[in-house]
Amino acid sequence: MKPFTDQMGHHIEVAWPPKRIISLVPSQTELLHYLGLDTEVVGITKFCVHPEEWFKTKTRVGGTKKFDFEKIAALQPDLIIGNKEENEEVQIRELMGKYPIWMSDIHDLDDAFEMMLSVGSITGKEANAQKLVQQVKKNFTTLGSFPARKAAYFIWKAPYMVAGGDTFLNNMLKRCNLTNVFADLDGRYPEVTADDIKAQSPDVILLSSEPFPFSDKHIDEFKHICPTAQILLVDGEYFSWYGSRLLDAPAYFMSILV
């Protein structure tokens, strides 16, 4: 057994290196694949759509908010990897009584780097994780000079919900020189009204592909609220997935914002 501490300060002991891993977070599932843990990962969630071959072949243990405890038990995991924001505390605590669980807590890019290195360490893939972090850091240095603009990032409709200041999404906006007009509201994903949006008058409105699937049909609705704003449909995975997807995030930001 080997001791580890997760990003929430929990101390766990793991049979190292783990041979039966369950991932409860889509972006971290993709990270595990990138690190080369194909046979070791035995369970994922129904939202872990990347890589596609894992989505088709790995056992799905429910969603990120509602686990299938019987399926988890049948897989006999020696490590479960979750996330404070994406998973429900009550369900995680129930699992903690039975299995070693390593939890991430991501607010900015530095937290993401720490998570990648820690996951690399706990899974025996330290070298791969270090190379990944180095490459992501290098790629983020290629971000060009974005014009300074006010922005609002929407994750939900009816009610409207936006990314607040204490989120990884907000950190990505900052790196694109976008000032989040709702950063000072209470809560990580506060609800706002059409009047709130008008009052803040963002230069750019970003409509995410997840968790609510914004599409072309929603653009006119926001144009009516803010006629002068630039309305962009964006791939939420590049703004909110904090694993290996970050390798391609800078190039994506450049393609849509410059």
Torsion sign, CA atoms 236, 241, 242, 248 = negative
Closest alpha carbon to 116 in 130, 101, 135, 137: 130
Residue 198 tokens read as 């008008």
pLDDT at 126: 98
CA 9 to chain centre: 20
Domain 2-139 has CATH 3.40.50.720: no
Q: What is the mean pLDDT of the chain?
A: 97
Closest alpha carbon to 188 in 208, 211, 162, 209: 162
- Confirm if 253 and 144 have CB atoms less than 8 A apart: no
pLDDT at 105: 98
pLDDT at 144: 79
pLDDT at 180: 98
Which residues, 6+ apart, have CB-to-CB distance to 189 below 8 Å? 155, 156, 161, 162, 163, 164, 167
Domain ranges of the chain: 2-139, 149-257
Residue 258 has pLDDT above 90, yes or no: no
Mean pLDDT across 178-191: 97
Do 149-257 and 2-139 fall under one CATH topology?
A: yes
Residue 44 tokens read as 């994922």
* Tens digits of residue pLDDT in 50-82: 999 999 999 999 999 999 999 999 999 999 999
* Whether the predicted model's global pTM rises above the 0.75 cut: yes
Work out the angle at residue 36's Cα, subtended by the Cα atoms of residues 31 and 42, and round it to the nearest 5 degrees. Answer: 80
H-only helix segments in 62-207: 69-75, 89-96, 109-122, 126-140, 168-175, 194-200
Q: Which fold has domain 149-257?
A: Rossmann fold (3.40.50)
Distance CA 70, CA 110 (A): 36
Residue 145 has pLDDT above 90, yes or no: no
Residue 114 tokens read as 């720490």
In the Cβ-directed half-sphere of 27, how many Cα atoms lie within 13 Å? 25
* Tens digits of residue pLDDT in 106-144: 999 999 999 999 999 999 999 999 999 999 999 999 887
